[in-house]
């Protein structure tokens, strides 16, 4: 696909990539880009990334820790600009 076609039909390019197709973009007969489906991420990917970064996996208290942190979040939904 030419760069001009890709520009005019970018939504279509993304749709095609979403459905598994790899699209090569050319300009003046030279390949300048390739649009392909994004790799699927899994729980295994997360575990590997955490291990690589030396971050321990969540412990048994993780859910309680998150709930305790959320308790500090304000639920005040007033308009901060109303009194300005």
Q: Per-residue pLDDT tens for 43-82?
A: 888 888 888 888 777 788 988 998 888 888 877 777 777 7
Number of domains in the chain: 1
**19 located within any domain:** yes
Domain that holds residue 8: 3-35
**23 located within any domain:** yes
pLDDT(83) > 80 = no
**77 located within any domain:** no
Question: If you count DSSP H runs as helices and E runs as strands, how many of each does the chain have, helices first?
Answer: 4, 2
**74 located within any domain:** no
pLDDT(84) > 90 = no
Q: Which residue has the higher pLDDT, 63 or 23?
A: 23
Cβ–Cβ < 8 Å for 29, 41: no
CA–CA separation, 34 and 44 (whole Å): 27
* pTM, 2 dp: 0.51
Using a pLDDT cut of 90, give the percent of the chain over it.
45
DSSP 8-state class, residue 43: H
CA–CA separation, 32 and 29 (whole Å): 9
**30 located within any domain:** yes
Give the pLDDT score at 50.
80
- Give the 3-state secondary structure of residue 37: coil
**21 located within any domain:** yes
């Amino acid at each position: 696909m030419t760069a001009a076609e890709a520009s005019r039909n970018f939504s279509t390019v993304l749709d095609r990539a979403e459905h598994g197709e790899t699209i090569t973009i050319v300009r003046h007969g030279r390949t300048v880009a390739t649009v392909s489906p994004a790799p699927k991420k899994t729980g295994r990917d997360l575990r590997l990334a955490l291990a690589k970064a030396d971050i321990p996996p969540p412990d048994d208290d993780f859910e309680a820790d998150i709930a305790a942190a959320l308790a500090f979040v304000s639920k005040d939904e007033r308009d901060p600009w109303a009194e300005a």
